[in-house]
Amino acid sequence: MGISWRNPVNPPDVCLDMAAQDHLERVWDIVEQVGVCMLTTHSAEGMRARPLEARPDRDAGIIWFVTDVRSGKEHEIESSGDIGLVFIDAASNVYLSMTARADVQHDHVKAGEIWKSTDDVWWHGPSDPNVCVLRVEPVTAELWDGPSSRIVATFEFVRARLTGEQPNLGENRKVTVPMRSR
């Protein structure tokens, strides 16, 4: 199911029905609950992925990351702001893939707003000259919600084998998350 709307501050292009709003809320729930994702960028050698801790701002429709100006991802994002994010909750059998636009910001005030004590392991506070933030604007999200129980999944595989039907392993919902106008 494809759902599209603009910045929630502006009137929506389409009227979101209750199911569409539920899909959108589910995407943000996963981002908030899982926390760490794999962020993929384009490099000269091809695609590169690395784990980062998301700092979602659901109301603004933005995901922030604290990162280091000396890492390759900042240069890759400055060359091409198109990125991918993958959030996985294997225990719940939930998989979320997002396409997004990212930009690097040298904003120590914003870094301070989203700073966590774990960041002190890498830097000397949000004013550290090596700290920058990534502002990520999700464009599309594809969500797979499977049965959270391995027993249910096993049952579905056995049932499918016996009946010749496809196993019911959950729902694939494609949701377009809020886009902010530039």
74-89: pLDDT as tens digits: 889 988 899 999 999 9
* Residues of the domain holding 70: 18-175
Name beta bridge partners: 96: 87, 143
Q: Is residue 95 part of a domain?
A: yes
**Residue 2 covered by a domain:** no
Would you state the pLDDT for residue 107?
A: 96
pLDDT, one tens digit per residue, over 119-169 is: 999 999 999 999 999 999 999 888 887 665 566 667 767 777 888 887 776
Residue 8 lies in a domain: no
Judged by average pLDDT, the poorest of 21-25, 92-96, 114-118, 171-175 is 171-175
pLDDT of residue 109 exceeding 50, the answer is yes
* Residue 51, number of CB atoms within 10 A of its CB: 9
100 has which bridge partners? 83, 138
Mean pLDDT for the chain?
81
Distance CA 180, CA 173 (A): 22
Q: How many domains does the chain have?
A: 1
Q: Which letter, b or e, does each residue of 84-119 get, where b requires 16 or more Cβ atoms within 10 Å of its Cβ?
A: bbbbbeeeebbbbbbbbbbebeeebebbeebbeeeb
Q: Look at residue 63 and tell me if it is in a domain.
A: yes
Is 74 within the bounds of a domain? yes
- Of the chain, the percentage scoring pLDDT greater than 90 comes to 51
In this predicted structure, what is the pLDDT of residue 10? 37
- Residue 86 forms beta bridges with which residues? 38, 97
User: Does any domain span residue 4?
Assistant: no
